[in-house]
Structure 1
Amino acid sequence: MKRMTRLLGTLVAASLLLSGCAAIEADTQYQGLGLERHKGSVGSGALYMVQDDGTVVRYGGGTYYLSYAGKGGEEVFQLPGLENIVGIEVGASHALAQDREGCIWAWGSNKYNPLGFQVEKRVEKPKRFESVCNIKDFDAESYYSMALFENNTVKVWGREIPDEVQGIPFEFGDKIKKVFVGSLFFAISEDGDVYAWGSSGQYPIFSSGRREQWTPELLDIPCSVKSVDYPPGAVFVCDNGDVYVFGDNGAGALGNGELTPVRQIKKHPYLEDIEKIEGGSIRIAKTTSGKFLGWGDQIIAPIEASNQGYILKPELLYPPQGAIDFFSNTHSIFFILKDGRVAELIPEEHWFWPYKYMLEDYHFKFYTH
């Protein structure tokens, strides 16, 4: 089995530093809106990070859909038109940002209706939408958008959402504090209870056994949950550091030592004292003591090319010295360093290139703003 832990700890990065640049304090917490988790977001090869002054900087070239903000060759670029921003989330081809007044700015492709609060097929530059204000929390993933309003209602937009619920308020008896979106939608109450609705695919999470349900259902998770990572499979991180998992486990995405699906919500057999989990088919976790773990499909490639090299149990990772945080999705992993640099994990070309890349051998690319 190929190991994803052969990080280049001896890589010398000092020569890559740019003089005169202010450090990014990656652990800065914004006051008042509870948007700490929206400090950064990864989308299709680029990291978008909110700076202390309310601007947004992109690290990496990004995609065509969001490429208005600088040419592809500009690897560190401040997005024009965005100021006073406190949080950002990026999907496959669209992005959402929230300003300090609680309103959503959005741009990108609307092909699958993730920007269903407007009629344009494509929003070229960030645009403030007055119909999506008074926001308490929000999320964007793949071709979906989700917003939690101050009146405790939740709205969702995106691909294959029935017309009768597209952009229609969902109401809750409990006070909701966070929302998470995929093809399934999750809402977490102030007490850490989790509600789910939407399409759960092959492994239904609902008590009815239905694969699709558009009435939020309270899940039976025996802990106070603070975050959800989905898909593939659902990973629930608890306030006490425990982790619970459910659903699709292809390529070992749940990290429980198996490849078979988990058909009932279960406590993770290996993970504890966990602060944060992000990723997809390759998942990264940060412990409360500041260690980093990784597991899943280490081949960054189309599914048909991915048939071996799975990491079934969490392995200790060794990111560049000074790593204090990370942001990742299926195809991109970025570490935030204490000195303000951003380190992108770059897989080396495998002999099957361009069909797949291996995380067996890789290096880090450093960005400084």
Structure 2
Amino acid sequence: MHTRHSMAYGLVISFVLCLLSGQAAFAAVIIQISCGGFHSLALRSDGTVWAWGLNVHGQLGDGTNSDRKTPAPVKGLDNVAAIAGGVWHSLALKRDGTVWAWGANWAGQLGDGTTRSRNTPIPVTDLRGITAIATKGQHSIVLKSDGTVWAWGRNEYGQLGDGTTTDRQTPVPTRALKDVISLAVGGYHSLARTAGGTIWAWGLNKYGQVGDASIADRVIPVSLRGLEGIIGINCGGDHSIALKNNGVVLTWGFNQYGQLGDATTDSRSTPCPVEGLKNVIATDGGGDHTLALKSDGTVWAWGSNNLGQLGDATNMGRGLPTLVKNLDHVTSVSCGGQHSLALRSDGTVWAWGLNKNGQLGDGSASNRNAPVPVVIK
């Protein structure tokens, strides 16, 4: 009897340990990726955030200002539902609807009422009920559950949409917007999509990135005409991207490096279709390049490629979409200033492009013109 009880007890312990092990493995699954300008972020299903790359401003949130060539956990941050990387700072949306920020803060992009940079997360002042976050430049915008948009940080070109060009150290409401369901941020401009399908844009418009057929900066959001069936919006540094419900991609703005994907280098102030691309389910824009994820799990890229950010095993710029090499079963993509990330269905993260600061997370500082796996422990 003693032996049977011991065996039974041992089986129970083994079963419990197995369950715990399985839960731990599940907790380690990556569910979201986001590139900053020169750093990278990953969100795990256990609500923790991991970061790697440039850290001179504390944008990795690990309590130091030292670059990291492999992912490290962001300190004191849990229960996170979404992440977003800016050029020098980072944002996290918690499950309780609060927003946390860390990194550079000279323009107030952390939203804590100061211009002091932080190397660990701090809460954004007086924000509750947030459902979405966005950043890519030096400003931050968020969506409240009531459909309103709030913004803070750099505002030199009106990218906060509050009717001024004054930087803001705490959130202010973006004017003229309601019933918003998604957001996107570029280097110095912003986009919003409403429940009714209207796309709004504001901020720097030097290259037509606002998309209103002008090159006049907009300090208050303007609605874009002729855009129907849009289900996704993204921004690059100075260009904009819209995904239609038929899988077609539209782009506008700066095009010196072919990042609009229309086989020219002519900038455009109204949306135009990307040539030869269909069945797209997600997009993102980098400094001067663009990525598209197709329904078959392949990734396509175009634009600047001097550092391998297109991932086609060359360093040749492309004015038309080219297939990213040796990458399949992809579920999401993200673009940094000059690097790219992809998340596969097996939970692995792959990276390519500039790696001077370790932003590819492969343990080296070597640029890569084809995808390499990120070393996530």
TM bucket, shorter chain: 0.7 to 0.9
Q: C-alpha separation between the residues in 1 aligned to 2:99 and 2:34?
A: 15
Structure 1 residues 362, 260: CA separation in 2 closer, same or farther (over 3 Å shift)?
same
1:163, CA displacement in angstroms?
Answer: 4.9
1:173, CA displacement in angstroms?
Answer: 6.2
Contact 2:251 2:273 in 1 (8 A): yes
The equivalent of 2:99 in structure 1 is: 104
Sequence identity, in percent? 21
1:185-334 mapped onto 2 (5 Å cutoff): 185-203=190-208, 205=210, 207=212, 209=214, 211-220=216-225, 221-280=227-286, 281-300=288-307, 309-320=316-327, 322-334=329-341
Q: C-alpha separation between the residues in 2 aligned to 1:163 and 1:96?
A: 22
* Equivalent position SS for 2:191: strand
| Bigger CA radius of gyration | 2
The equivalent of 2:312 in structure 1 is: none
Contact 2:262 2:273 in 1 (8 A): no
Identify the match of residue 55 of structure 1 among 44, 48, 57. Answer: 48
Contact 1:194 1:225 in 2 (8 A): no
1:347-358 mapped onto 2 (5 Å cutoff): none
Structure 1 residues 68, 223: CA separation in 2 closer, same or farther (over 3 Å shift)?
closer
Contact 2:230 2:242 in 1 (8 A): no
1:39-188 mapped onto 2 (5 Å cutoff): 39-58=32-51, 60-65=52-57, 66-69=59-62, 71-73=66-68, 75-159=70-154, 160=156, 161=158, 162-163=164-165, 166=168, 167-172=171-176, 174-182=178-186, 183-188=188-193
Structure 1 residues 313, 115: CA separation in 2 closer, same or farther (over 3 Å shift)?
same
Contact 2:203 2:210 in 1 (8 A): no
* Equivalent position SS for 1:22: helix
TM-score, normalised relative to structure 2: 0.77
Q: C-alpha separation between the residues in 1 aligned to 2:68 and 2:122?
A: 24
Counterpart AA for 2:25: A
Contact 2:38 2:53 in 1 (8 A): yes
Counterpart AA for 1:170: T
* Equivalent position SS for 1:250: coil
| Range with greater deviation from structure 2 (325-334 or 135-144) | 325-334
1:206, CA displacement in angstroms?
Answer: 6.0
Contact 1:340 1:368 in 2 (8 A): no
Structure 1 residues 143, 194: CA separation in 2 closer, same or farther (over 3 Å shift)?
same
1:124, CA displacement in angstroms?
Answer: 2.9
Structure 1 residues 211, 363: CA separation in 2 closer, same or farther (over 3 Å shift)?
same
Identify the match of residue 364 of structure 1 among 365, 368, 372. Answer: 372
Contact 1:234 1:247 in 2 (8 A): yes
Count of aligned pairs between the two proteins: 325
Q: C-alpha separation between the residues in 1 aligned to 2:354 and 2:118?
A: 32
Unmatched tracts of structure 2, length 5 or more: 1-20, 159-163, 309-314, 357-365
| Range with greater deviation from structure 2 (167-176 or 275-284) | 167-176
Structure 1 residues 116, 82: CA separation in 2 closer, same or farther (over 3 Å shift)?
closer
Counterpart AA for 1:151: D
Counterpart AA for 2:376: T
1:127, CA displacement in angstroms?
Answer: 1.1
1:213, CA displacement in angstroms?
Answer: 1.6
1:98, CA displacement in angstroms?
Answer: 0.7
Q: C-alpha separation between the residues in 2 aligned to 1:363 and 1:209?
A: 38
1:365, CA displacement in angstroms?
Answer: 4.3
Contact 1:233 1:254 in 2 (8 A): yes
Contact 1:232 1:253 in 2 (8 A): no
Q: C-alpha separation between the residues in 1 aligned to 2:285 and 2:177?
A: 31
| Range with greater deviation from structure 2 (247-256 or 197-206) | 197-206
Unmatched tracts of structure 1, length 5 or more: 1-18, 29-38, 302-307, 350-356
Structure 1 residues 100, 219: CA separation in 2 closer, same or farther (over 3 Å shift)?
same
TM-score, normalised relative to structure 1: 0.78
Contact 1:298 1:358 in 2 (8 A): no
* Equivalent position SS for 2:126: helix
* Equivalent position SS for 2:257: helix
| Range with greater deviation from structure 2 (101-110 or 129-138) | 129-138
Q: C-alpha separation between the residues in 2 aligned to 1:330 and 1:97?
A: 19
Contact 1:334 1:342 in 2 (8 A): yes
Q: C-alpha separation between the residues in 2 aligned to 1:346 and 1:154?
A: 33
Contact 1:153 1:169 in 2 (8 A): yes
1:154, CA displacement in angstroms?
Answer: 1.4
The one-character-per-residue Cα deviations of 1:72-119 (angstroms, maximum 9, x if unpaired) are 356121112001110111111111101111010111111122224421
The equivalent of 2:359 in structure 1 is: none
Give the alignment's Cα RMSD to 1 decimal: 2.9
1:135, CA displacement in angstroms?
Answer: 0.9
Contact 2:325 2:370 in 1 (8 A): no
